[in-house]
A = this chain, B = another copy of it.
Amino acid sequence: MTPPPATPEPISRRARPAKAPLSREAIVRAGLAILDRDGLDALTMRRVAKELDTGPASLYVYVANRDDLMAAMLDEALARVPLTAEGSWREQLHALVAASVEAMSRHEGLAAVALGAIPTGANALLVLDRMLALLKQAGLDDITAAWAVDLLHLHSAAAAAEQSAHLTKGGKEETVVADADRHYAALPAERYPMITALRSALFSAGDRDTWGLDVLLSGILQTPAR
């Protein structure tokens, strides 16, 4: 092996002024910064370590692995969801779900973390607790409220995942939709009659998120579990 010839290392890290000590919180924040700035592909342990001016091995003292880091990042992102709002229980619930979707979709790939797991993060649980309170306020029985919060959580994560995927796919959302529209226009009408007939409706503009949430809430209200 080549002996490293006298690596002089002109600026030792230790000689630098005031290096903030490593911590789980700092790692999570650095991860979010990279995710927002450079996207999901750039969120590697090496990249996070470099952001903190250290090596990848150092991270593993505070973080079990990449999945653990992403789960922590998700919970940190959810900390920004305001837990209270004004208005009726329905308006408040609407605002809460919308804020959750917003918080998750703002960071590419974080929603996918929420999709697979039962929420356990401190902030995720606060949101969940608040949702349960609002659903009970709506007059639902315990089981229906419990199942409803499950369904709302699933919907939030899915909506956020879809939104953040569209937001970051190749840049422009418009382009993606336009491509799909063109694709659909070229489909054989005899094989896909409904798609062909309803194509303009399929790509019509409008607030689908709000509508979807209304659908869920209305459906929940009139569908008791069991």
A214 and B219: CB pair below 8 A?
A: yes
Contacts of A132 in B (CB 8 A): 194-195, 198
Bound together, the chains give a CA A200 to CA B133 distance in angstroms of 15
Asked if A120 CB lies within 8 Å of chain B CBs, one says yes
A116-B165, A145-B198, A146-B202 known; A129-B218 Cβ under 8 A: no
Contacts of A129 in B (CB 8 A): 191-195
From the candidates B146, B192, B195, name the one contacting A201 in the complex (CB within 8 A).
Answer: B146
Tell me the interface secondary structure of chain A in the complex: helix
- In the bound complex, residues from chain B placing their C-beta under 8 Å from that of A169 are 116-117
Q: What are the residues of chain B within 8 A of A219 when measuring CB–CB?
A: 214-220
Offer 29 A-B interface pairs, CB within 8 angstroms, sorted by A. A112-B112, A112-B115, A115-B115, A115-B162, A117-B169, A120-B183, A129-B192, A129-B193, A130-B194, A133-B193, A136-B194, A136-B198, A142-B198, A142-B201, A143-B204, A143-B206, A145-B201, A146-B201, A147-B208, A151-B215, A157-B158, A214-B219, A215-B220, A215-B223, A216-B216, A216-B219, A217-B219, A218-B219, A222-B222
